[in-house]
């Protein structure tokens, strides 16, 4: 739930993005330098599914009087409406179709984005106070201004398909992909025959080909100019299409559509190069190499352009609306444009981002501010991992979301990708390197240059600079926290000290509870969030004080210090344990360091007269061969041991009381 709250704070439609996001963030993930990037989109889908997203309600108050009109309810339009409403403006969305969603509803098949997911987001927007007017095409911007709207955002998309420009393309049986997908999503089940040929290599072409299979086509041939590596479609979607039975004809172009009265086939010519030496799209053909594909229906998906009404009076650049790159304003005052209408066809995620930017620029317009340019926006300064650090980071295979088998999914318009289970999500999340949250020498005057941090760091990150001072490069530190716990001068801290602060805050919360209720814990356990607690083995004990067992989840057991163990006993605990995740841990030397902290704490406990066995650790070093047994069995035995010690102490106290009474009587 906490993860979902963070995601929703910066994303108006996390449930939509969880299904269709092209996840460009994964390309920037530094884990990619080690093995494969973290599956960010799949983890967000898990947070949406299990974090109670269906119960989330968005709220907004009207702060400003300026009314705003959004033309088009596609991703850019809805994103702009959402953020304007969050900023406190009245917003009305005008949609020409009878349903809200634009290309999200009519252009993306339901096996990629179920309708109920989109409907949920629209209900949230309606609950915020956004007004939707469906079946209301806008023919005049002047009329909107006359109605009292002070800013207009034009996001009409790009839904007019380009033409092939070849012989026979006017024959019956040729349909553009946008029309085909719209009719399919409306449940009209267009008649396509047995043999379907798709022209194009982008995501729309892939969607059309997979939809044709689900509508009953026996053979579906996709023809594209590009090679496999050059295709603009998402690689995973290309893979899914081939698994389902789509035949992809790489490096072929259309020479002619065959047939007299009806289509009988498509003649192809070999494309020897889709791009010229400058990298520009400029296909070159070898007309002597040809082949013919049988076809009852030809679906074209070679790109779309916007249909911009002349009555809007907007200047264009080619086929798109001309806008100021900084303000997004058009040639008309108070009229802004974005999404595919100004940029040309892009991904839904790019449209959502553009809609957010448009909302900020419209806010600037209303508040009479001139915005900063995109280049002035702050950027992350974190660099590349060094080869030495990369070699030291543990390699962990990426966990891909489970898929419905191809033979089943190609028959129905149901989601192809399933959501992670709890354990798989925890396993994948732990692969994160937590970039930028590493250690730093917070108190240089305390540093005694003992070189302990250089000695204990498993990644060889700390180094001595030219002035013989210790430095911990922020872009290399893996935030394991080992140097923090081992620094004798306590001069080192984490840049984002949530882990240590959380432990302290939880222990203080328990301390206050003891003061109020008088009840003390029998056992306090520090558990790895990604391990035992994260995989729900100890979830039943989560903050459950009824049985006297209190759990404190931690990001990594290496961050638990001997001080924390001693503090737990100070709170009155009869037993304290540390539970890690063993060889599954993504960090190095955590078990070694945890054992060292346990040893330090035990030495202090022994001096205080405690039984050192009151402090135990479950630190499995081998996944399938744990000498301590299963976590449940180990914990049961530990509870029994602590319980017997507690009972023994009670009996001892009672015996002392009885002896004292007896001596007094005598």
Give per-residue pLDDT as tens, 618-627: 887 644 444 4
Chain-wide mean pLDDT for the chain? Answer: 87
pLDDT confidence tier of residue 665, bands split at 50, 70 and 90? low
Domain boundary at 350, 367, 384, which? 367
Count the domains in the chain: 4
What pLDDT, on the 0 to 100 scale, is given for residue 267?
A: 95
What pLDDT, on the 0 to 100 scale, is given for residue 400?
A: 92
What pLDDT, on the 0 to 100 scale, is given for residue 227?
A: 94
pLDDT at 417 over 60: yes
Flag whether 154 is in a domain. Answer: yes
pLDDT at 447 over 80: yes
What pLDDT, on the 0 to 100 scale, is given for residue 375?
A: 53
What pLDDT, on the 0 to 100 scale, is given for residue 602?
A: 95
Higher pLDDT, 493 or 142: 142
What pLDDT, on the 0 to 100 scale, is given for residue 246?
A: 97
CA angle at 110 for the pair 106 and 115, rounded to the nearest 5°: 75
pLDDT tens readout for residues 107-123 = 999 999 999 999 999 99
What pLDDT, on the 0 to 100 scale, is given for residue 8?
A: 86
> Can you tell me the mean pLDDT for 211-222?
96
Stated pTM of the model = 0.83
pLDDT at 359 over 60: yes
Flag whether 204 is in a domain. Answer: yes
**Phi, psi of 326, rounded to the nearest 5 degrees:** -95, -50
In whole angstroms, what is the distance from residue 556 CA to residue 483 CA?
Answer: 13
Flag whether 412 is in a domain. Answer: no
> Can you tell me the mean pLDDT for 501-512?
83
Highest mean predicted confidence (pLDDT) among 219-233, 361-375, 438-452, 463-477 = 219-233
pLDDT at 520 over 80: no
pLDDT tens readout for residues 15-27 = 999 999 988 889 9
Lowest mean pLDDT among 171-185, 516-530, 543-557, 615-629: 615-629
* Residue 59, both tokens: 């709220």
Q: Three-class SS string for 431-466?
A: CCCCCCCCEEECCCCCCCCCCHHHHHCCCCCCEECC
What pLDDT, on the 0 to 100 scale, is given for residue 623?
A: 46
The answer to whether residues 98 and 59 touch, using CB atoms and an 8 Å cutoff, is no
Q: Are 279 and 346 contained in the same domain?
A: no
pLDDT at 562 over 70: yes
pLDDT at 536 over 60: no
Residues 6+ apart with CB under 8 A from 185: 105, 106, 107, 108, 109, 110
In whole angstroms, what is the distance from residue 35 CA to residue 411 CA?
Answer: 35
pLDDT at 223 over 60: yes
Q: Are 281 and 170 contained in the same domain?
A: yes
> Can you tell me the mean pLDDT for 168-195?
91
Q: How many CB atoms lie within 10 A of CB 367?
A: 10
What pLDDT, on the 0 to 100 scale, is given for residue 199?
A: 96
Q: Are 609 and 541 contained in the same domain?
A: yes
CATH number for the domain that contains residue 561: 3.40.50
pLDDT at 200 over 50: yes
pLDDT at 11 over 90: no
> Can you tell me the mean pLDDT for 542-568?
78
CATH number for the domain that contains residue 314: 3.50.50.60
Question: Helix 115-128 crosses helix 75-87 at what angle (to 10 degrees)?
Answer: 30
Lowest mean pLDDT among 259-273, 524-538, 598-612: 524-538
Q: Are 62 and 137 contained in the same domain?
A: yes
Lowest mean pLDDT among 256-260, 595-599, 648-652: 648-652
Higher pLDDT, 58 or 205: 205
> Can you tell me the mean pLDDT for 43-65?
87
pLDDT at 233 over 70: yes
Structural domain of 547: 498-652
SS3 label, residue 131: strand
> Can you tell me the mean pLDDT for 630-656?
71
Q: Are 172 and 188 contained in the same domain?
A: yes
In whole angstroms, what is the distance from residue 105 CA to residue 73 CA?
Answer: 10
**Phi, psi of 615, rounded to the nearest 5 degrees:** -115, 115
Lowest mean pLDDT among 56-60, 229-233, 239-243: 56-60
pLDDT at 379 over 60: no
> Can you tell me the mean pLDDT for 330-359?
93
What pLDDT, on the 0 to 100 scale, is given for residue 540?
A: 52
What pLDDT, on the 0 to 100 scale, is given for residue 624?
A: 44
pLDDT at 524 over 50: yes
Q: Are 296 and 204 contained in the same domain?
A: yes
Flag whether 426 is in a domain. Answer: no
pLDDT tens readout for residues 283-335 = 999 999 999 999 999 999 998 889 899 999 999 998 899 999 999 999 999 99
pLDDT tens readout for residues 120-178 = 999 999 999 999 999 999 999 999 999 999 999 999 998 888 888 888 888 888 999 99
The answer to whether residues 439 and 556 touch, using CB atoms and an 8 Å cutoff, is no
In whole angstroms, what is the distance from residue 89 CA to residue 591 CA?
Answer: 54
What pLDDT, on the 0 to 100 scale, is given for residue 625?
A: 42
Flag whether 475 is in a domain. Answer: yes
Q: Are 475 and 508 contained in the same domain?
A: no
Q: Are 290 and 316 contained in the same domain?
A: no
Domain boundary at 367, 394, 409, which? 367
pLDDT confidence tier of residue 542, bands split at 50, 70 and 90? very low
What pLDDT, on the 0 to 100 scale, is given for residue 599?
A: 94
Flag whether 222 is in a domain. Answer: yes
What pLDDT, on the 0 to 100 scale, is given for residue 628?
A: 52
Q: Are 632 and 521 contained in the same domain?
A: yes
pLDDT at 377 over 90: no
CATH number for the domain that contains residue 447: 3.30.70.20
Return the beta strands (E) in 180-279 as ranges. 195-199, 219-223, 247-249, 252-258, 265-275
Q: Are 595 and 539 contained in the same domain?
A: yes
Higher pLDDT, 657 or 617: 617
> Can you tell me the mean pLDDT for 82-97?
96
What pLDDT, on the 0 to 100 scale, is given for residue 622?
A: 45
Q: Are 188 and 262 contained in the same domain?
A: yes
pLDDT at 497 over 70: no
What pLDDT, on the 0 to 100 scale, is given for residue 580?
A: 84
Flag whether 349 is in a domain. Answer: yes
* Residue 13, both tokens: 């439609």
What pLDDT, on the 0 to 100 scale, is given for residue 244?
A: 96
pLDDT at 219 over 70: yes
Domain boundary at 472, 494, 516, which? 494
């Amino acid at each position: 739930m906490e993860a979902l709250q963070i995601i929703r704070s910066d994303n108006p439609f996390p449930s939509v993005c969880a299904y269709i996001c092209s996840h460009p963030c994964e390309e920037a993930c530094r884990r990619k330098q080690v093995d494969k990037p973290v599956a960010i989109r799949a983890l967000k889908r898990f947070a949406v599914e299990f974090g109670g997203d269906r119960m989330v309600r968005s709220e907004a108050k009207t702060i400003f009087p300026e009314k705003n009109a959004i033309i088009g309810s596609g991703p850019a339009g809805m994103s702009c409406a959402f953020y304007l409403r969050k900023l406190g403006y009245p917003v009305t969305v005008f949609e020409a179709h009878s349903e809200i969603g634009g290309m999200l509803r009519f252009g993306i098949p339901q096996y990629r984005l179920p309708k109920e997911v989109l409907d949920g987001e629209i209900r949230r927007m309606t609950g915020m106070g956004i007004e939707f007017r469906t079946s209301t095409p806008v023919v005049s911007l002047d009329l909107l201004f006359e109605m009292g709207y002070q800013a207009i955002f034009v996001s009409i998309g790009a839904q007019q398909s380009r033409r092939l420009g070849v012989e026979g393309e006017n024959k019956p049986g040729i349909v553009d992909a946008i029309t085909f997908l719209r009719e399919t999503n409306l449940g009209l089940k267009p008649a396509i025959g047995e043999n379907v040929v798709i022209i194009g290599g982008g995501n729309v072409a892939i969607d059309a080909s997979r939809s044709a299979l689900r509508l009953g086509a026996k053979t579906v041939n996709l023809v594209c100019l590009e090679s496999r590596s050059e295709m603009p479609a998402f690689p995973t979607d290309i893979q899914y299409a081939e698994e389902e039975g789509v035949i992809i004809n790489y490096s072929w172009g259309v020479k002619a559509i065959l047939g007299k009265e009806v289509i009988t086939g498509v003649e192809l010519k070999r494309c020897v190069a889709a791009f010229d030496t400058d990298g520009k799209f400029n296909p070159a053909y070898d007309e002597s190499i040809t082949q013919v594909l049988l076809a009852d229906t030809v679906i074209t998906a070679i790109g779309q352009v916007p249909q911009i009404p002349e009555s809007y009076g907007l200047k264009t650049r080619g086929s798109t609306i001309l806008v100021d790159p900084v303000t997004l304003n058009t040639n008309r005052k108070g009229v802004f444009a974005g999404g595919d209408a100004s940029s040309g066809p892009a991904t839904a995620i790019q449209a959502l981002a553009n809609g957010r930017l448009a909302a900020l620029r419209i806010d600037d317009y209303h508040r009479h501010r001139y915005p900063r340019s995109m280049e002035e926006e702050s950027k992350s300064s974190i660099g590349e991992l060094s080869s030495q650090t990369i070699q030291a980071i543990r390699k962990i295979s990426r966990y891909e979301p489970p898929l419905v088998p191809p033979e089943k999914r190609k028959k129905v318009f149901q989601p192809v990708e399933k959501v992670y289970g709890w354990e798989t999500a925890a396993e994948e999340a732990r692969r994160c390197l937590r970039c930028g949250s590493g250690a730093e020498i917070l108190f240089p005057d305390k540093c005694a240059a003992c070189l302990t941090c250089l000695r204990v760091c498993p990644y060889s990150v700390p180094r001595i600079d030219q002035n013989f001072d210790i430095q911990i490069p922020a872009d290399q530190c893996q935030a394991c926290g080992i140097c923090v716990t081992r620094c004798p001068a306590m001069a080192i801290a984490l840049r984002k000290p949530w882990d240590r602060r959380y432990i302290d805050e939880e222990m203080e919360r328990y301390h206050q509870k003891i003061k109020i209720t008088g009840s003390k814990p029998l056992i306090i356990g520090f558990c790895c969030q990604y391990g035992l607690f994260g995989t729900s083995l100890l979830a039943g004990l989560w903050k459950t004080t009824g049985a006297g067992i209190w759990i404190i989840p931690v990001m990594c057991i290496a961050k638990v210090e001997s001080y924390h163990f001693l503090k737990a006993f100070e709170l009155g605990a009869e037993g304290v344990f540390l539970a890690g995740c063993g060889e599954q841990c993504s960090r190095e030397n955590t078990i070694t360091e945890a054992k060292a902290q346990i040893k330090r704490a035990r030495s202090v406990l022994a001096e205080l007269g405690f039984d050192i066995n009151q402090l135990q650790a479950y630190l499995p070093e081998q996944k399938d061969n744990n000498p301590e047994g299963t976590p449940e069995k180990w914990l049961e035995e530990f509870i029994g041991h602590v319980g017997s010690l507690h009972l023994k102490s009670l009996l001892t106290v009672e015996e002392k009381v009885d002896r004292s009474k007896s001596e007094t009587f005598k």
